Structure 1
Amino acid sequence: LYLPDGIPIEVLVTSVVSCNHIFVQQILHPSYPELSRLDNSMSVFYHHTEMTPLLPRPIQPGIICAAPTQAGWFRALITVYNSNHDMAMIKFLDYGGYLYVHANSLRVLRQDFMIIPFQAVEVYLDNVVTADIDVRIFSIQHIN
């Protein structure tokens, strides 16, 4: 998905990479309600990892796969692969954020899990500056 240009919309910040790099979801987009069903279906399907295929080797950046998290299985994009350590940097396509994982934890993504558009929109904010306050003085005043 893309953010519409020049139109205010409601978004949910789902991941903060840095103060000027975030991921958002468009909560009023027609496909947004389908995300929870997709998450549930993926968690049920990938729960028994021994029954799901590993990614074929050699792994290439740009491959879309299923990645495990504490909250379930999510769609991810491999951005970097280190064959010496069998590690991959992935970007979560529905919630945003990056994670460095063992490539053997990643699984082939079933084609029917590609039906809804990826929900996370990566956003870079321009002209982000620190607030014009002295944090040191502010903290000391509140301690006393």
Structure 2
Amino acid sequence: LYLPDGIPIEVLVTSVVSCNHIFVQQILHPSYPELSRLDNSMSVFYHHTEMTPLLPRPIQPGIICAAPTQAGWFRALITVYNSNHDMAMIKFLDYGGYLYVHANSLRVLRQDFMIIPFQAVEVYLDNVVTAD
């Protein structure tokens, strides 16, 4: 999803990377109510990780996958992969934020989990600096 230009809309801040780098969701977008159902379906499906396929090797940046957190499983994009340590930097596509994880914890994302658009919009705020 993208933020419309020049039109005020309601958003929910879901992740703060820094004072001028945030992620938001458009809570009035027609696809937003589907997100909780997607989250539940993914958590149920990926609960037994031994039954879900690992990402095929070699892992490349740009791959969309399923990533575990304490709150459940979420859609993520691999932004960086370190083959020496088998670690990946991922960006959460529905809630925002970045996390460095072991690549063997990531799973292939089922195609039907791609139906709704990614909900997080990455925002960089101009003229915002930290207060020293």
Q: TM-score range by the shorter chain?
A: over 0.9
The superposition leaves residues 29-76 of structure 1 with CA deviations (integer Å, 9 ceiling, x where unpaired) of 000000000000000000000000000000000000000000000000
> How many pairs are equivalent?
132
What is the alpha-carbon distance in structure 2 between the residues aligned to residue 82 and residue 130 of structure 1?
31
Q: Which has the higher helix share?
A: 1
Q: 3-state SS of the aligned residue for 2:35?
A: helix
Name the structure 2 match of 1:139: none
How far 1:18 moved relative to its partner? Answer: 0.1
The superposition leaves residues 71-108 of structure 1 with CA deviations (integer Å, 9 ceiling, x where unpaired) of 00000000000000000000000000000000000000
Shift in alpha-carbon separation, 1:51–1:29, aligned structure 2, 3 A: same
Name the structure 2 match of 1:120: 120
Name the structure 2 match of 1:84: 84
Q: 3-state SS of the aligned residue for 1:122?
A: strand
What is the alpha-carbon distance in structure 1 between the residues aligned to residue 114 and residue 80 of structure 2?
21
RMSD (Å), alpha carbons: 2.0
How far 1:129 moved relative to its partner? Answer: 3.3
Question: Where do 4+ consecutive residues of structure 1 move more than 3 Å?
Answer: none
Structure 1 unaligned segments of length 5 or more: list them.
132-143
Structure 2 unaligned segments of length 5 or more: list them.
none
Say which structure, 1 or 2, has more relative contact order (CA 8 Å, 6+ apart): 2
What is the alpha-carbon distance in structure 2 between the residues aligned to residue 48 and residue 59 of structure 1?
22
Query: What TM-score comes out, normalization by structure 2 length?
Result: 0.98
How far 1:130 moved relative to its partner? Answer: 4.6
Shift in alpha-carbon separation, 1:130–1:45, aligned structure 2, 3 A: closer
**Based on CA coordinates, which of the two structures has the bigger radius of gyration?**
1
Query: What TM-score comes out, normalization by structure 1 length?
Result: 0.90
Is contact 2:16-2:22 (8 Å) kept?
yes
What is the alpha-carbon distance in structure 1 between the residues aligned to residue 13 and residue 129 of structure 2?
19
